Amino acid sequence: MESKFDKLRSYLAEALDLLYVTGLLSWDQQTNMPPNGAEARGQITGTIERLLHLRASSPELGQMLEDLKSEVNNLDPDSDDARLYKVTLREYERRTKVPPELVTELAETIGLAYSSWEKAKAENDFPTFKPFLEKIVELRRTYAKLFAPYDHIYDPLLAEFEPGMKTADVKEIFNALRPQQVELIREITAKPQVDDAPLTQHFDPKKQWDFGVEVITKFGYDWKSGRLDEVVHPFTIGIGKGDTRITTRILPEYIGSGLFSTMHECGHALYDMGASEKRARTILGQIRSLGLHESQSRLYENLVGRSLPFWQHFYPRLQSLFPSQLGNVSLEAFYKGINKVEPSLIRIEADEATYNLHIMLRLELEISLMEGSLEVVDLPEAWNARMKEYLGVTPTSDSEGVLQDVHWSHGYFGYFSTYALGNLISLQWWEKIYQDIPDLDDQFRRGEFGALLTWLRENIHYHGAKFDAQELVQKITGSKIDPAPYMRYLRNKYTDIYGL
């Protein structure tokens, strides 16, 4: 006879199948869909999202959870069944506050908004995108208000991407981090600048692509369970166990863009690929914490991909692909070039020392939009003003300013802070990894990345959505999310590069 938990898992599996369908529709829209398909795609996605929402908030599911309540009380709180109940109940309670009509309207609006954003960015035309963004902001405000009373209107949006954390928690972390990063940047800018000119030559896109494939294959990316495509704004998407797809963006005149975006997205994919087989097609197999997810992408992009031991192995290969561009550039010069600190306009190409300031800027703008103290029509001006205040640079176009990121066209208000949280978490992992694998640098010099992946799989990937970010960080490192390891890393690294 089927147990109550088996019945719950079977019910949730069908809901997850609908979620995977929306993922496949989104991947196709961003990689293959013809432009005129945007309206129909939005309608199709709206229908699927509505069906998913109805299943995930149904009275039938509510009754299953009620029937399990007494049984859960007798379980180990960290057992899979207890955690399955906890995560499902939290998602159920969230869903039941939201009317299906709002879910459908948001999905249909996003279907049109993404295509509008893509065109607006290409043509530097914010007014074209403005009405779609205004509608999304209106819908997200409406959504957030359904969860009142709350400590802050932004809390329900943040909870979608970082369960267990509130706006006040993120602000507290960022307020501790910001002055330290600003001071470090001030010290760096007082020193002679490193030269990154060798990175801004013409690099054949096909060779860039092939090199990126070589790198992530060594990292452990499973090509039988994934694929790589090129898009305007890179992303990763999982479409069920055994299908995790990544994308990248290649710039012919700058080798760093494609290289580091490919490594970044590979980090996301390895996380998805590493979730426990026994939790596949369950809600615990879905990694809900974007802070944990971003800790993996930023770890592979920066802590591995911008490290000296990594390039001691890979740089001769890169030189062989681009002899005229890099043949006379020393490893030291190249390493310093890819780690140059300079306030810049584009978040995804920002250096490690300034990156978090890009995130803080976006978080503050999102909060202001949700509070109603900032309207979409004033967003470009507010963006440019904060860029000048925080980073000392001002966009010359909206394409390199307010239109640069894809997230708002997808309705992802609440997402951005997880990038910075991921940075901090990645260094907490990193310090623990070096305690457990003290010869990691030597392994990288030999082009060996298996021990790293095994550690991540056993300690992080395996758990999926079983633990919130703060819980898992506490279990593995002994403390909650803490900026101190990140600042130690930045100061040590840039002391060596800039002679601080």
| Backbone phi, psi, residue 420, to 5° | -70, -40
CA distance 353 to 182: 9
Q: Give the CA-trace dihedral at 413, 145, 59, 239, to 10 degrees.
A: 0
Q: Which residues contact 383 (CB under 8 A, 6 or more apart)?
A: 361, 365, 395, 401, 402
Unique residue bearing structure tokens 């267990």 = 164
Of 339, 335, 336, 364, which is closest to residue 349 (Cα–Cα)? 339
Of 68, 82, 94, which is closest to residue 4 (Cα–Cα)? 68
Of 245, 215, 429, 449, which is closest to residue 321 (Cα–Cα)? 215
**What are the DSSP calls for 176-238, one per residue?**
HHHHHHHHHHHHHHTSPPPP-GGGSS---HHHHHHHHHHHHHHHT--TTS--EEE-SS--EEE
Q: How many residues does the chain have?
A: 500
| Backbone phi, psi, residue 251, to 5° | -110, 120
Two tokens at 310?
């990594």
Q: Is 49 a catalytic residue?
A: no
Two tokens at 473?
């960080």
Q: Are 220 and 270 in contact (CB under 8 A)?
A: yes
CA distance 436 to 64: 42
CA distances from 32 to 27, 132, 248 (A): 8, 22, 14
- Strand pairing of 244-248 and 228-230? parallel
CA distance 356 to 161: 18
With vertex at residue 237, the alpha carbon angle to CA 113 and CA 427, rounded to the nearest 5 degrees, is: 110
Catalytic one among 105, 265, 301, 366?
265
- The two counts, helices (H) then strands (E), for the chain are 21, 3
Cis omega (within 30 of 0) for bond into 149? yes
Say what angle helices 308-321 and 205-219 make with each other, to 10 degrees.
140
With vertex at residue 466, the alpha carbon angle to CA 460 and CA 470, rounded to the nearest 5 degrees, is: 70
Supply the residues annotated as catalytic.
265
